[in-house]
């Protein structure tokens, strides 16, 4: 019995690893995907981390049948990735990442749609449009408030066909407050 249980655990673990690896390499090939450098080594574990792949988004769209518009929009997405870090230390790595990602994605025909440069806040929002279809959205925010406990770095990447008129429905149904209203 122990051998059967151990074999099942090994099989399931291997399957999940292979599926996760395949997802990571497949999603990286999508037009709307942006690679955010992992800031864990600088800021520690993110205070919020959302990493929904096509399968998980499919489950959510089926669960969310009470709102057919949101369910339809979610079903067209391939990934939703959110990383939010507390910045109790130096904000330079996060600011450098925004600069690096901004330069990189503009060379790949991403369009900047929002840019804010305040003393205590830096915001960049980009979209990727192919054949009149938005297939990627990137939101990067650095909040440099004087109070260290309120300082944070936010990185969001939505991959897949996106209807801008319905983006708030998606974020609300996923309980992600990005305040794009």
Q: What is the pLDDT of residues 115-125, one digit of tens each?
A: 999 988 899 99
90 confidence band (pLDDT: 50, 70, 90): confident
Q: What is the pLDDT of residue 178?
A: 54
Sheet containing strand 152-162, edge to edge, reads 48-53, 77-86, 152-162, 133-143, 121-130, 110-118
Residue 85: which of 72, 98, 100 has the closest Cα?
A: 98
pTM: 0.75
Quickly state the pLDDT bin for 177 (edges 50, 70, 90): low
Q: Which of the two residues, 62 and 108, has the higher pLDDT score?
A: 108
Instruction: Tell me: pLDDT of 96 over 90.
Output: no
pLDDT confidence of 62, banded at 50, 70, 90? Answer: confident
Average pLDDT, the chain: 77
The closest alpha carbon to 152, from 66, 82, 103, belongs to 82
């Amino acid at each position: 019995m122990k051998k059967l249980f151990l074999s099942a655990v090994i099989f399931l673990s291997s399957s999940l690893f292979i599926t996760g690896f395949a997802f990571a390499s497949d999603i990286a090939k999508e037009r709307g995907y942006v690679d955010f450098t992992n800031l864990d080594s600088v800021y520690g574990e993110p205070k919020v981390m959302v990493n929904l792949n096509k399968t998980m988004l499919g489950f959510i769209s089926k669960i969310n049948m009470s709102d057919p518009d949101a369910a339809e929009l979610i079903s067209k997405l391939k990934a939703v990735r959110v990383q939010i870090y507390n910045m109790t230390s130096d904000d330079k790595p996060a600011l450098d990442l925004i600069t690096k990602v901004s330069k990189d994605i503009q060379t790949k025909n991403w369009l900047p749609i929002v840019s804010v440069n305040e003393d205590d806040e830096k915001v960049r929002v980009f979209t990727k449009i192919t054949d009149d279809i938005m297939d990627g959205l990137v939101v990067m925010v650095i909040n440099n408030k004087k109070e260290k406990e309120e300082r944070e770095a936010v990185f969001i990447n939505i991959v897949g066909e996106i209807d801008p008129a319905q983006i708030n429905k998606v974020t609300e149904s996923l309980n992600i407050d990005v305040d794009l209203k």
